[in-house]
Amino acid sequence: MTDDAAAVAAFIQARLPVTPVPGLPQLCLHKADPASGVGRLADTAPYWAYWWAGGLALARHLLAHPHLVAGRRVFDLGAGSGLVGIAAARAGAAIVTASEIDVHARTAIGLNAALNQVAIAAIVGDCTAGPVPDVDLLLVGDVFYAPDVAARVIDFLDRCVAAGVEVLVGDPGRAPLPLERLTLLASYEVAEAGTARRAGVFAYRAA
């Protein structure tokens, strides 16, 4: 499939139905269904096309506790579809930046932000190799899904916390989750791929 953003946007709008967010019906996103054929878009899994328990829990938490983001500069690491950043913006964040390594996610985030009438700046690339972003709060929804990814993210989060950035993590307890760095704040029953599971929201502290 083409890398042309306009063609990808047309594909998403035509093939990925606008779907209410499970547990957050005030938000909706383009998500894949069995007829979408998202495998045609890329060789790698289009994570942004699916629901993830950690992002669902973190989005729920932000909308239930808007003081966590109100008026703050927020960075959504591994934003996928943009769900967590969209929830932050709806909860009153001043500026939301979404970071992804998947170029098609940037297109999906743009469409989803518009659907939910919020503004999000989406950047593409591995931000974990770069400097600490100039933000107040870093949000990490379900990014501890593989050991190599988790190792890079932990190093980056340690640097962010050392620089004074607050970090919140949403995760259902996947294998590489660094539990020794996390304090549980809340947990939510969420629906990931139609299956109910419990996911936590954690404050992250450096080692």
Ligand X SMILES: C[S@@+](CC[C@H](N)C(=O)[O-])C[C@H]1O[C@@H](n2cnc3c(N)ncnc32)[C@H](O)[C@@H]1O
Query: Does residue 171 interact with ligand X by CB under 6 A?
Result: no
* Contact in structure between 199 and 170 (CB atoms under 8 Å): yes
| Residues 98-137 interacting with ligand X (rule: CB under 6 A) | 99-102, 105, 126-128
Q: Per-residue x/- mask for ligand X, residues 28 to 57, rule CB under 6 A?
A: -------------------xx---x-xx--
CB of 70 to ligand X, least distance (A): 21
H or E element: which one contains 86? Answer: helix 83-90
* Contact in structure between 74 and 135 (CB atoms under 8 Å): yes
* Contact in structure between 139 and 84 (CB atoms under 8 Å): yes
Burial of 125 (0-12, 13-18, 19+ CB in 10 A): exposed
Stretches 17-25, 71-79, 112-120, 183-191: which one binds ligand X (CB under 6 A)? 71-79
| Residues 76-95 interacting with ligand X (rule: CB under 6 A) | 77-81, 83-84
- Residues at the interface with ligand X (CB under 6 A): 47-48, 52, 54-55, 77-81, 83-84, 99-102, 105, 126-128, 141-143, 145, 149, 152
